[in-house]
């Protein structure tokens, strides 16, 4: 039993990037699908898809690298942890590297980036940040 499935997903992606793997498999959940969607929309991964292997459903994430084989994601880290949740109001959402990175938040209007949440005028729990 994994106590923090989001941290597990981020660690799997981080490890696969360090090992220069083309793809990584993550156990599926609705929240992880939404995080994968945002990573694709923001251009940090090539693609993702839901794969059924027997009774288990997994998310296959296709990682993205630059022309000289460097990962597009240079850092990905969990912000809100099960033992210490991190919430921010719409005016308190921090910018990552002065706007070069992305925060991923879960809000009352769904999972979205920090800039989308500021535009929508909603706050929420800051799941992770990456650049």
Q: pLDDT for 92-115, tens place per residue? A: 999 999 989 999 999 999 999 999
Domain shared by 52 and 97, yes or no: no
Domain boundary among 63, 88, 112: 63
For position 94, which CATH number holds? 3.30.1490.10
Domain shared by 43 and 91, yes or no: no
Round the CA-based radius of gyration of the chain to a whole number and report it: 15
Domain shared by 11 and 59, yes or no: yes
Q: Which two tokens stand for residue 85?
A: 């949740």
Domain shared by 80 and 59, yes or no: no
Based on the structure, what is the number of domains in the chain? 2
Q: Is 71 contained in some domain?
A: no
Q: Is 100 contained in some domain?
A: yes
Q: Look up the domain containing 20 and give its range.
A: 5-63
Closest among 113, 112, 39, 96 to 73, alpha carbons compared: 39
Q: Is 70 contained in some domain?
A: no
Domain boundary among 39, 63, 87: 63
Closest among 118, 126, 117 to 85, alpha carbons compared: 126
- Taking only the tens of pLDDT, the chain with its 131 residues reads 789 999 999 999 999 999 999 999 999 999 999 999 999 999 999 999 999 988 999 999 999 999 999 999 999 999 999 999 999 999 999 999 998 999 999 999 999 999 999 999 999 999 999 99
Q: Which two tokens stand for residue 93?
A: 């959402």
Q: Is 68 contained in some domain?
A: no
d(CA 84, CA 87): 10
93: Cβ–Cβ under 8 A, 6 or more apart, which residues? 103, 105, 114, 117, 118, 123, 126
Give, in order, the Cα–Cα distances in Å from 32 to each of 60, 75, 89, 98, 128: 11, 18, 23, 26, 12
d(CA 24, CA 58): 10
Helix (H) / strand (E) element for 102: namely strand 102-107
What size, in residues, is the chain? 131
Domain shared by 58 and 104, yes or no: no
């Amino acid at each position: 039993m994994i106590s923090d499935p989001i941290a597990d997903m981020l660690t799997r992606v981080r490890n696969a990037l360090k090992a220069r793997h083309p793809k990584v498999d993550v156990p599926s959940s609705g929240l992880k699908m939404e995080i994968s969607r945002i990573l694709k929309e923001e251009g940090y991964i090539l693609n993702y898809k839901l794969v059924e292997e027997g009774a288990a459903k997994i998310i296959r994430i296709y990682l993205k690298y630059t022309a000289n084989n460097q990962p597009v994601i240079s850092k990905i880290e969990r912000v809100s942890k099960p033992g210490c949740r991190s919430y921010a109001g719409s005016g308190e959402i921090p910018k990552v590297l002065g706007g070069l990175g992305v925060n991923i938040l879960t809000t009352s209007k769904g999972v979205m980036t920090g800039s989308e949440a500021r535009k929508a005028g909603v706050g929420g729990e800051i799941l992770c940040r990456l650049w």
